[in-house]
Amino acid sequence: MTAQSPGELRQPPSREAGPFAWFYSPRVRGWLTQLAVFLLLAWGLYAIIFNTQANLKKLNQNFGFDFLTQAAGFDLSTSLIAYSSNATNARALVVGLLNTILIAVLGIIFATVIGFIVGIMRLSRNKVVAGAATLYVEVVRNIPLLLQIFIWYALVLKPLPGVKGAINLFDMIFISNRGVTMPHPLFEEGAWLAPVFLFGALVATWFFRRWARKKQEQTGKSTPVWLTSIPIILLSPVLGLALAGWPLTFDYPSLAGFNFKGGMTIVPEMLALLLALSIYTATYIAETVRAGILAVSHGQSEAAAALGLSRGKALRLVVIPQAMRVIIPPLASQYLNLTKNSSLAIAVGYPDFMYLGGTVNNQTGKAIEVVFILMVVYLGLSLLTAAFMNWFNSRMKLVER
Amino acid sequence: MTLAYVRTEDAPKRPPPATTAGTWARLRDQFAPTPLSGLATIVIAALLAWTAWTIIHWALISAVWSAPDREACNAVGAGACWPFVKAKALQWVYGFYPIEERWRANLVFLLGGISLLGLLVPQIPLKGLNALFFFLIYPVLTFYLLRGDHFGLVRVDTDQWGGLLVTLIVALTGIVASMPIGILLALGRRSKMPVVRSLSTAFIEIVRGVPLVTVLFMASVMFPLFMPPGVNPDKLLKALIGVALFSAAYMAETVRGGLQAIPKGQYEASMAVGLSYWRMMLLIIMPQALKVVIPGIVNSFISLFKDTSLVSIIGIFDLFNMVQSGFNDAKWASAQTGNTGYFVLGLVYWAFCFAMSRYSQFIERRLNTGHKR
């Protein structure tokens, strides 16, 4: 074997040696890039702050949150807490936040129920049932939510009769174009017994469920837990009220002049918003549920059928619990979307948080402060929903070794 | 050890299944496998038939087809008010764009349509050139064509733009701006540089955590304060910036999903052959990652298209606002005007979004052929 003469040693490329080698080191480059980004950002921030100060000076304004304690000076169509135009801007914003939370919670409940039903319907053997569900999803999902809110508003709620000709249900509930007016419960001294009884019933149900489960594991006999506990839970506050001597009266609405007096009213704007939000979000939830169920391996439902479970029971006891693990993460993001989409209330004039943010801004001209509050609160709501769904997800997760 | 909850004796025998062969059995299996299911079939079929009949009756049978003004549409029992649509249709497409200059908008539609067709149909060659045209040249060309003031064209300010034209401009801006910004943000979020990573993450999470209405509101009231005094940005421009930032944050998360789907070996292999970071991304990672997330990208375009309707809230006369503002026209305001307008709006948005979702499914099937089980 002849020794190979080494080829002429090539000069290392200038990138790896020489006075500028450091410039090609990934580490140095990384730091330089970050420094550049940081400086760019700092310069941008400086320009923004400088410009804003100059602009505010020109508008004769100063930055500060003292407008929150000033009187709002505008009225609202609906509020969950006491509110008048003398209340502070801060209180007005709280009213909006509560309305947003109300819409979001109700919307999430309705959308979940509709979404699960439609998602399961889409997988039905029955061609008509599956077809109707597909039609619903394909039509509703492809139309902007804003348009749907207006359609519900125009189609269902505007044709309702005026206050004078309101649809009268047992002299208690009145349906008119001002919304649904119904009796308002008034609690008096001693009504605290009702929530106490409700809590007691919930605790008792929890123990009952544990006992029933233990019994089933030991003897194989199942106890109808839900059938017995749901009536108990529902009846317990009534029992509490009865024991306390019925400290509950209703404020019945009555026609007075051009509007209803007393009672409580669900304004049509809220109904339109709620209908549109739940029906629109339900299509996305239905698709999530369908995908989740399809993700459960076929063997699972076959095994359930082999054990003699009916299709309904197989779905409820075997397939859905496993599908939930796939469903929950996208479900969480749909809940977030619904909460954020509730800000479209501004289009129909339902006083939610976004609407009141806009109104307060119009009244006080504190654009920066209002946008800051809006962003912080919506971010907070998003984080809260995300945290709750994470907790729920970790509970439903497959327990692995 | 015996388990109490395990059966020791057989479960009761069930009756044998009914015949499963023949037309009758197949029909029963499809429409009424159980009595309850059969009942559902009847109820749902009746409901569907009633809905279909209501819509057909309203839109065709009792509709008003031609009338000079609202008189006929206001009659009791009148259905859709089609003359209103006929009278307003051109305004819904072009907004207040001067009539003698509308050929410019038509040219924009035509160029966009051709370029988009070239991009979307897989068989048409020159994808790279086409993409270059669509994402770089076309937006600039659109701006100069529509606004004019150069090359002997009359100046048409943005407050005269409106209708479907503006809806498409907002959607297009969102799409064109969100791709590069979204890709950069996605890369930033996966970067090893802490400053870049935390800034990208913060931007993405903040924008995704707030509603688009808030972002648009911020763009319209706060953005002018950030500008040097005396500079008051155009109303449409403010909306476009808001939409672009919003869609970029969502696009970033879609692209990140694609980046995560690429096996680590691809990164390591490209580093082993000595590619720099940007070459690795441009030549190896991005082509694969973007291909994986094409359905996701189309889906975010669909939601972007639907979301363009929100610019009407900050007073832009897009298609939605244009149609709605026609309801108050004294010549046409009638009981059915609003319903007809919403019906047309629904059809237009639905057609666009449905076409996009079908395309997404088509491309998903095309890309999936390799992995079919």
Residue scoring higher pLDDT (A1 or B206) = B206
| CA A150/CA B323 separation, integer angstroms | 12
CB nearest B41 (choices: A128, A142, A146): A128
- C-alpha pair distances (Å), B274 with each of A44, B268, B277, B280: 36, 10, 9, 9
CA Rg value for chain A: 30
CB nearest B211 (choices: A48, A56, A378): A378
The verdict on a CB contact (< 8 Å) between B41 and A129 is yes
Q: How many residues does chain B have?
A: 373
Q: How far is B256 from chain A (nearest CA, A)?
A: 16
> What is the mean pLDDT of the segment spanning A15-23?
67
- List the end-to-end C-alpha distance of chain B, in Å, as a whole number: 43
Find out whether B311 and B358 touch, Cβ atoms under 8 Å.
no
**Residues from chain B contacting residue A145 (CB–CB below 8 Å):** 306
**Residues from chain A contacting residue B313 (CB–CB below 8 Å):** 146, 346-347
Taking CA–CA distances from B349, the nearest residue in chain A reads A143
CB nearest B225 (choices: A52, A145, A154): A52
CA Rg value for chain B: 27
Kindly tell me if the per-residue pLDDT of A123 is higher than 50: yes
Kindly tell me if the per-residue pLDDT of B371 is higher than 50: no
- C-alpha pair distances (Å), A246 with each of A186, A228, A253: 11, 25, 21
The verdict on a CB contact (< 8 Å) between A216 and B37 is no
| CA B71/CA A30 separation, integer angstroms | 72
Kindly tell me if the per-residue pLDDT of A380 is higher than 80: yes
The verdict on a CB contact (< 8 Å) between A127 and B31 is yes
**Residues from chain A contacting residue B11 (CB–CB below 8 Å):** 308
CB nearest B214 (choices: A125, A139, A378): A378
> What is the 3-state secondary structure of B48-93?
HHHHHHHHHHHHHHCCECCCCCCCHHHCCCCCCEHHHHHHHHHHHH
CB nearest B211 (choices: A33, A341, A368): A341
pLDDT digits (tens, 9 = 90+) for A328-359: 888 888 888 898 999 998 888 888 888 888 88
Residue with tokens 């609690």: A187
Cβ neighbours for A174, distance < 8 A, ≥ 6 positions apart:
A166, A167, A168, A180, A181, A182, A253, A255, A260, A263
Confidence band, pLDDT 50/70/90 cuts, at residue A7: low
Output the CA torsion A394→A399→B2→B8 (10° steps). Answer: 70
The verdict on a CB contact (< 8 Å) between A144 and B306 is yes
pTM: predicted TM-score of the whole model, two decimal places: 0.84
Q: What element of type H or E holds A167? A: strand A167-169
pLDDT digits (tens, 9 = 90+) for A223-261: 777 777 787 777 777 777 777 776 667 777 776 666 666
Interface test with A, best of B226, B243, B324 (most A CBs within 10 A): B226
pLDDT digits (tens, 9 = 90+) for A142-184: 999 999 999 888 877 677 777 666 777 777 777 777 777 777 7
- Residue-level pLDDT at A258: 64
Return the minimum-mean-pLDDT range out of B61-70, B202-211, B266-275, B299-308: B61-70
Find out whether B259 and B285 touch, Cβ atoms under 8 Å.
yes
Percentage of chain B modeled with pLDDT above 70: 96
- Residue-level pLDDT at A6: 57
The verdict on a CB contact (< 8 Å) between B342 and A371 is no
- Residue-level pLDDT at A13: 57
Q: How far is A257 from chain B (nearest CA, A)?
A: 27
| CA B214/CA A341 separation, integer angstroms | 10
Closest CA relative to residue A146, chosen from B346, B244, B70: B346
ipTM of this complex: 0.86
Find out whether B108 and B148 touch, Cβ atoms under 8 Å.
no
Long-range CB pairs of B185-188 (<8 Å, 24+ gap) are B185/B248, B185/B249, B185/B251, B185/B252, B186/B251, B186/B252, B186/B253, B186/B255, B186/B256, B186/B259, B187/B259, B187/B281
Helix, strand, coil tally for chain B in percent (to 5): 75, 0, 25
Q: How far is A187 from chain B (nearest CA, A)?
A: 38
Closest CA relative to residue A246, chosen from A182, A209, A191: A191
Kindly tell me if the per-residue pLDDT of A139 is higher than 90: yes
| CA A67/CA A368 separation, integer angstroms | 12
Q: Alpha-carbon torsion A384, A385, A386, A392, what sign?
A: positive
How many beta-carbon contacts under 8 Å exist across A and B? 163
Kindly tell me if the per-residue pLDDT of A61 is higher than 60: yes
**Residues from chain B contacting residue A155 (CB–CB below 8 Å):** 339, 342
CB nearest A375 (choices: B214, B307, B312): B214
| CA A277/CA A111 separation, integer angstroms | 8
Q: How far is A85 from chain B (nearest CA, A)?
A: 24
- Residue-level pLDDT at A247: 67
> What is the mean pLDDT of the segment spanning B153-169?
83
Cβ neighbours for B320, distance < 8 A, ≥ 6 positions apart:
A144, A146, A147, B167, B309, B312, B345
Return the minimum-mean-pLDDT range out of A132-136, B67-71, B338-342: B67-71
